[in-house]
């Protein structure tokens, strides 16, 4: 498999897209990555003797270029396990949240794709796509979202059995669908935050593979994001539909979302009735909507992975990003001055 990944890397200079063959994807999926990830998760959770913690963590930080000066606790003996070290919080104020941008980065990482979604195929990386409907699934949430936006909603877009899945996601007139993908490398800060002020109403947890989401692999396997385990969170922001998806990957022991205590990822097996996905309508302790503020902590990965944003915004919406650029939590990715 990796021979073909290297071939893909070399071919980028000639602008040739090398896509994995079906048999190659089948062989890759046959590797017991879920078992390996569960074993790695168990190893990560084991408590380390205090005497060796600085040695282990400094080695990891050196290997993956972690900035330990940003950690809330610079004393490395505080972190009892690799899992605690990977998910370490940062010092207060180290990631200021932009107040002049309507959307900020949900995570530290690299931007691998962004832009308008003009069809039901979404850019995974340049030249490679995934199915929008395969990624999100049936819009079970549409009725509750439409109810919350009934004063502004596009009635044609939310009609039953719409012919265009992309259009069915839009709640308002004169808007479009946009996307942004942020890849978290193993050395990045592993917590992710709310990119906007919004109400979270629905979660869909897809059972799936735990294939690598490294950009080199994403360039090789079409529909990679629809193959992997993922937690899709759907709701509304001031311009309509908004979703944040946390994608699992090889050696990601688990995905933990603070407002969703029932989410359990990387399970050994699912119940028979949950062979594809599990849906949950989310409400606060007293039945109210779950409201997230821009920059508010949302969840954490127990290693690196990927965050995908899909959202509705006015047709005049513009990103100010470059593909491949490094970005930090709270940094603006779009201009608030939308006409």
> Known catalytic residues?
108, 193, 305
Q: How far apart are CA 198 and CA 290, in angstroms?
A: 8
Q: How far apart are CA 233 and CA 134, in angstroms?
A: 15
DSSP reduced 3-state for 174: coil
- For the beta sheet containing 297-301, the strands, ordered from the edge strand earlier in sequence to the opposite edge, are 191-193, 297-301, 255-257
Residue 24 is encoded by which pair of tokens? 């190659």
Residue 19 is encoded by which pair of tokens? 């896509």
Q: Among 96, 334, 312, which residue's Cα sits nearest to residue 193?
A: 96
Q: How far apart are CA 292 and CA 233, in angstroms?
A: 12
User: What is the bridge-based pairing of β-strands 297-301 and 255-257?
Assistant: antiparallel
Cα angle value 217/219/221 (rounded, 5°): 65
Q: How far apart are CA 248 and CA 211, in angstroms?
A: 8
Contact 118, 167 (CB under 8 A): no
Q: How far apart are CA 149 and CA 54, in angstroms?
A: 52
DSSP reduced 3-state for 216: helix
Which residue, chain included where needed, has tokens 């270029």?
Answer: 65
Which residue, chain included where needed, has tokens 């779009």?
Answer: 334
Q: Among 36, 40, 4, which residue's Cα sits nearest to residue 19?
A: 4
Q: How far apart are CA 5 and CA 275, in angstroms?
A: 30
For the chain, counts of helices (H) and of strands (E): 10, 14
Residue 264 is encoded by which pair of tokens? 């359990």
HSE value, Cβ hemisphere, 13 Å, CA-based, for 92: 0
């Amino acid at each position: 498999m990796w021979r073909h990944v290297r071939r893909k890397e070399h071919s980028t200079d000639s602008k040739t897209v090398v896509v994995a063959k079906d048999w190659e994807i089948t062989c890759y999926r046959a590797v017991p990555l879920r078992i390996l990830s569960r074993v790695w998760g168990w190893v990560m959770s084991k408590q380390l003797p205090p005497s060796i913690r600085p040695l282990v963590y400094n080695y990891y930080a050196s290997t993956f270029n972690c900035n330990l000066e940003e950690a809330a606790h610079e004393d490395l003996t505080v972190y009892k396990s690799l899992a605690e070290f990977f998910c370490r919080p940062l010092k207060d104020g180290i990631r200021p949240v932009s107040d002049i941008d309507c959307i900020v980065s949900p995570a530290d990482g690299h931007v691998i794709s962004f832009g308008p979604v003009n069809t039901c195929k979404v850019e995974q990386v340049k030249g490679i796509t995934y199915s929008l409907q395969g990624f999100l699934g049936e819009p079970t949430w549409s009725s509750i979202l439409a109810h919350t936006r009934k004063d502004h909603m596009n009635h044609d877009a939310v009609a039953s059995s719409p012919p265009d899945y992309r259009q069915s996601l839009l709640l308002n007139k004169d808007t479009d669908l946009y996307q942004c993908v942020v890849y978290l490398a193993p050395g990045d800060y592993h917590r992710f935050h709310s990119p906007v002020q919004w109400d979270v109403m629905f979660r869909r947890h897809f059972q799936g593979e735990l294939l690598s989401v490294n950009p080199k692999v994403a360039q090789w396997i079409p529909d990679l994001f629809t193959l992997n385990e993922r937690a899709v969170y759907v709701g509304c922001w001031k311009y309509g539909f908004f979703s944040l998806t946390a994608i699992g990957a090889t050696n990601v022991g688990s995905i933990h979302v603070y407002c969703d205590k029932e989410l359990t990822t990387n399970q050994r097996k699912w119940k028979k009735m949950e062979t594809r996905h599990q849906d949950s309508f989310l409400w606060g302790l007293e039945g109210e909507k779950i409201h997230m503020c821009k920059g508010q902590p949302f969840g954490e990965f127990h290693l690196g992975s990927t965050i995908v944003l899909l959202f509705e915004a006015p047709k005049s919406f513009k990103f100010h990003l470059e593909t491949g650029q490094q970005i930090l939590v709270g940094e603006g990715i779009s201009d608030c001055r939308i006409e």
